[in-house]
Amino acid sequence: MRLLSFMKDDVVKVGLATGKGILDLAKCYQNTYGDTEAPNWLYSLKHLLAGGEDALNLVKKLERKAAELSDQSLFYRESEVKIQPPITNPSKILCVAANYISHTKELDIKVPEKPYFFGKFRNALVGHEGNILIPKTSAKVDHEIELAVVIGKKGKYISKSSAYEYVAGYTVFNDISFRDKQFPPGWPQRLNPYGQNWILGKSLDTAAPCGPYLVTKDEVGNPYPLRLTLRVNGEVRQDGTTDDMFFKIDDLIEYISDGLTLEPGDIIATGTPAGVAAAGKTYLQHNDVIVCEIERVGVLRNRVVRES
């Protein structure tokens, strides 16, 4: 299944991408069961995931029901709605630094001995076709296409062998970075004892575009290899595969859940391949269009806009 969050008439709902268009699951539920109100988890993909297999099975039932009906009002074209990040309110956005071998080579850094995580905040989220802001105080805005894992059930101290049981699915993620804020003056020749500035360098407004879909793990299948390609104005800037990950998804889940409870809707961005601007390439400019594509997961498109 390809699930998404969308806004219609100022209401955020959960949708399902189908051959007929985006199925409005809440409206389909009301049509099917004659209820005036649909359950709250049809207005929140995070709540739907928390409902487990029962909730997902009901979505499949609604999909089958909608396919039998000729009522096109249950479906929308993408142009008729505003697509939101799949999870609009995750409790955690966890990102992994230096996890693709090609990326560590282009920046001349070592792969960490253990996964190196940093966090982003909800203010950074922006959906498909949303704008990425170049802030007034940064001139070095960078891109990083990443495969993001969306957690499907609550867990702590998760073993590597059971890690995929906690995965709901995957989405496309762009780890936007503000390199002139991330790296202290003189870095890396003159090291700062406190390291890089991860908050201002990684979590300003609109620094976490993701979507458009949460594609369930059964539809994606084996996430190795998946091709990741990022284009700016049609020019390929990044092109790699998930095989290049040093720490794989099960490693990451085992490591980060060691004392930290993962919850439905949590996002884990798993790192980026080579091709970032910080490796001597062109930084993002006003009106650039970024297209991030991950095989079997989707295409995420955003425009870069200078903050007014």
Top-level class of domain 87-306: alpha beta
DSSP sequence for 71-109: -GGGEE-GGGSEEEPSSSS-S-EEEEES-BHHHHHHTT-
Per-residue pLDDT tens over the stretch 75-117: 999 999 999 999 999 999 999 999 999 999 998 888 899 999 9
Straight-line distance from the first to the last Cα atom of the chain, in angstroms, rounded to the nearest whole number: 39
Distance between CA atoms of residues 29 and 16, nearest Å: 13
Is residue 232 within 8 A of residue 289, CB to CB? The reply is yes
- Quote the pTM value: 0.96
Average pLDDT for 3-29: 96
- Per-residue tokens: 196: 């890089």
Distance between CA atoms of residues 23 and 83, nearest Å: 13
Reported as type and span, the H/E element at residue 296 is none
Average pLDDT for 280-295: 97
Is residue 148 within 8 A of residue 120, CB to CB? The reply is no
Is residue 276 within 8 A of residue 143, CB to CB? The reply is yes
pLDDT at position 271 over 90? yes
Residue-range domain boundaries for the chain: 2-83, 87-306
